[in-house]
Amino acid sequence: MGELNRRNFLKTLGVAGATISGIPANKLLAQSKSDLSEDRMGVLVDTTVCIGCRRCEWACKTAHDIPAGNLEDYSDESVFENMRRPANDAYTVVNRYENPADPRSPLNVKVQCMHCDHPACVSACIVGAFSKEENGAVIWDTDMCIGCRYCMVACPFQVPTFDYDKAIQPNIHKCDFCFERTKEGLLPACVEICPVEAITYGRRRNLIEVAEKRIELYPDRYVNKIYGFTEVGGTSWMYLSSRNFEELDFPKLGDKPAPGVSESIQHGIFAYFVPPIALYALLGGIMWISKNKDNKGEGKE
Ligand code: SF4
Ligand code: SF4
Ligand code: SF4
């Protein structure tokens, strides 16, 4: 199959998969792996293909109404002098690493939420603002968020970020797997814009087959590992690389789902610190007062 046809095939496969699976709104809070849809979607990031153009950063911001500036400005490579992390105004960033095997071809690593199969953020959230959707996306409800930031503590990839300047009206930020786009049958914005097929959207199980095939065909090009295949029980976003993943700042994690840790945080709080009803009441009260105050302020204006 030609490169373009293969690309179209995989992209079509991705959109069709999302449409067939229906992407229903029923949420899968802290479910066991056996409850996850076999047809859930994922993305395979091939760091050996990524050229570091950062068009995905621009597309992601544009799709989420974050001021993105001019696309041409993203060719400025001075940003690679510092390692960056996802932020309130950048749900994905691309970092650059040396490639000892080929110094002229550095490795570029796109970073965003991994959309874990067993998300620690979901089980850590005491009000159920986070959810794992059937299509694989981990999303959250801004209106439900009370700003406790347990999700930030629980996430093994340190992904969620927080509006500290709006601490009374909390808002968490992270990649939402372009949930609004994919439920309409569109590709995630970053996947759609990538000019070299470094990021491929499709059913997770198909992507694993694609990744295994690439490793088998090009053993000199890849380390024999798909990052995200088993880490913390598996993630929707998975990576291929020519360098050990720890050297690319991927955390070394076990196969055991991380929610066990976050559930311990919750259980500890509930058992030894404050009963949940009291905690909800306190945080809910703060939210209510804050929103009321804000509404009155807007009325005056
Ligand atoms: S990477 Fe972090 S924020 Fe994303 S789903 Fe996993 S635990 Fe949640
Ligand atoms: S899937 Fe959507 S939200 Fe996530 S990094 Fe890509 S463009 Fe951004
Ligand atoms: S758009 Fe594609 S090639 Fe460009 S930086 Fe993003 S993932 Fe890499």
Specify the pLDDT at position 101: 75
- How far is Cα 141 from Cα 176, in angstroms, rounded to an integer? 11
Residue 159: phi and psi, rounded to 5, are -95, -50
Task: Name every residue whose Cβ is closer than 8 Å to that of residue 105 and which is 6 or more positions away in sequence.
Answer: 99
Is pLDDT above 50 for 17?
no
Domain boundaries, the chain: 3-117+177-248
Q: Which range has the worst mean pLDDT, 63-67, 204-208, 239-243, 261-265?
A: 261-265
Which bound ligand lies closest to the C-alpha atom of 111? 2
**From the candidate CATH numbers 3.40.1350.10, 3.40.190.10, 3.30.70.20, 3.90.1300.10, the one assigned to the domain spanning 3-117+177-248:** 3.30.70.20
pLDDT in tens, 151-195: 999 999 999 999 877 756 778 999 999 999 999 999 999 999 999
Tokens of 152: 């930030």
Q: How far is the CA of 49 from the centre of ligand 3 (A)?
A: 9
Tokens of 105: 């071809």
Give the residue from 156, 250, 188, 158 showing the smallest Cα distance to 41: 188
Q: How far is the CA of 109 from the centre of ligand 3 (A)?
A: 9
User: Each residue of 5-21: b (16+ CB within 10 Å) or e?
Assistant: eeeeebbebbbebbeeb
Global confidence as pTM: 0.80
55 CB near ligand 3 (under 6 Å):
yes
